[in-house]
Amino acid sequence: MTIAQDAARALFTDLTGRTPDGVWSAPGRANLIGEHTDYNDGFVLPFAIPHRTVAAVGVRGDSRIRVASTFADAPVDVSLDELDELFPTPIGTAPRVPEWAAYPLGVAWALRQSGTAGIGLDIAIASDVPVGAGLSSSAAIEGATASALNDLWETGLDGRALARIGRRAENEAVGAPTGIMDQMASMLGAPDAAIFLDCRSLETELVPLGMAETGLAILVIDTRVKHAHSTGGYGERRAACERGAQIMGVESLRDVTVDDLPRAQELMDEVTFRRVRHVVTENQRVLDTVGLLRAQGARAIGDLLVASHASMRDDFEISVPELDTAVDAALAAGAIGARMTGGGFGGAAIALIEQAALETVSDAVAAAFAEAGFITPVMFTVTPSAGAHRDS
Ligand code: GLA
């Protein structure tokens, strides 16, 4: 049993005095490439990481829903009917429950909104997904809860539909205006593969990465600069993209191609144009990455990862000095490619490296952080892993 499974089961027993009816889990994710393209109906290429959030759940005899987490001091207990009064959270305000509880309760609410009345449950949550590191600890909570409720409420939804439920919880209950990438990665991840997702059609294809057999590894460098997407820069970037699409007269930036960029530059202000250029070129980089992975394997994608980082740093302006330092130091120490991953403004970078170079690259990043006077980053390798499932 993993530490998080143990912790969730123990918490459930503390809460209820009995053992759970089942245990479900869902992973965090890293994104190989395709950043801030999801809410523009574009392309992304994330993968599920081995770190998982676990929900130990049991059916109650009444119609209350009680959630507890190893991260919180006290459980939150509401009736199923109350969920419809608590949510949606008015835009720009904090959820009416403690924020951590808005994720699982938001999932329960979103499932009810989609037509399932539900029955009372006790839910105990534990996680080994680093929080605030840009590795989608939130999608992992949503995925674990949605999987559990789907089984216990006999909703019969597939992974794609549950990802939508998770996103609705994130957008409308937590109040973070995010896209669908994280929830799709957490629900549909598969060992040693990235998920090529078309965020318009929600069609997915698994792209094998062949990490272990080709002697490659993915190093996560968590800068420990915390970020939050319910406030600030994320929403501003999203608004700039919507403005850009409107000026171009299209539904979303998915409909703008690299060839359209000169016209875009003439039509809009300089900042909006750079935001648009990031999204348009990033969509193309995702397509190019998928092509190269299939034709030549992961060693061929380094330059695209580096170009993606530069675009986020210079055009989209969502990097921070710690992320740039991580990327630059990893590349200088021989990484094949490196880029920040996730929403930005902090969080983590990933570096694609030769397994044999793990120590050299990690030491170089640690030294560069020390030299710059940054707090010590946390580094670990990740293998692309399975998506959400019932554990027991
Ligand atoms: C966050 C959001 C995602 C996506 C990324 C940026 O992780 O949750 O929907 O927009 O940022 O690619």
273-282 pLDDT, tens digit each: 999 999 999 9
Residues 260 and 155 in one domain: no
pTM over 0.95: yes
At which of 184, 206, 228 does a domain end? 206
- pLDDT tens per residue, range 136-171: 999 999 999 999 999 999 999 999 999 999 999 999
Q: Would residue 135 count as lying in a domain?
A: yes
Residues 331 and 351 reside in one and the same domain = yes
Query: What confidence tens digit (pLDDT) does each residue in 173-210 have?
Result: 999 999 999 999 999 999 999 999 999 999 999 999 99
DSSP one-letter string for 315-348: TS----HHHHHHHHHHHHTT-SEEEEESS-SSSE
Q: What CATH number did the domain enclosing 146 receive?
A: 3.30.230.10
Same-domain status, 273 and 143: no
Tens digit of each residue's pLDDT (9 = 90 or more) over 359-368 = 999 999 999 9
Number of compact structural domains in the chain: 2
CA–CA dist 98, 103 (Å, integer): 10
| Mean of the per-residue pLDDT values of the chain | 97
283-335, pLDDT tens digit by residue?
999 999 999 999 999 999 999 999 999 999 999 999 999 999 999 999 999 99
333-370 exposure pattern, b = at least 16 Cβ within 10 A, e = fewer = bebbbbbbbbbbbbbbbbbbbbeebeeebbebbeebbe
- Residue 350's CATH number: 3.30.70.890
What DSSP character marks residue 232? T
Residues 163 and 240 in one domain: no
Q: Are residues 341 and 376 part of one domain?
A: yes
From 175, 206, 237, give the residue that closes a domain. Answer: 206
Ligand 1 site-directed mutation target among 136, 170, 229, most atoms within 8 Å of CB:
229
Residue 95 class from Cβ within 10 Å (0-12 exposed, 13-18 middle, 19+ buried)?
A: buried
Q: Is residue 92 part of a domain?
A: yes
391 catalytic per annotation: no
Give the active site residue among 41, 122, 128, 182. Answer: 182
> To 10 degrees, what angle do helices 137-152 and 99-113 make?
40
Per the domain annotation, does 339 fall within a domain? yes
How close is the Cα of 263 to the center of ligand 1, in Å? 27
Ligand 1: centre distance to CA 58 (Å)? 32
Residue 172 lies inside a defined structural domain of this protein: yes
Whole-angstrom distance, CA of residue 244 vs CA of residue 138: 29
Q: 3-class SS at 54?
A: strand
Structural domain of residue 88, as residue ranges? 3-206
Boundary (domain end) residue, out of 182, 206, 230? 206
Would you say residue 302 lies in a domain? Answer: yes
Determine the pLDDT at residue 227: 75
37 located within any domain: yes
User: Do the domain assignments include residue 387?
Assistant: no
Same structural domain for residues 123 and 173? yes
Tell which atom from ligand 1 comes closest to the C-alpha of 178.
Answer: 9
Q: Which two three-digit tokens encode residue 354?
A: 């030769």
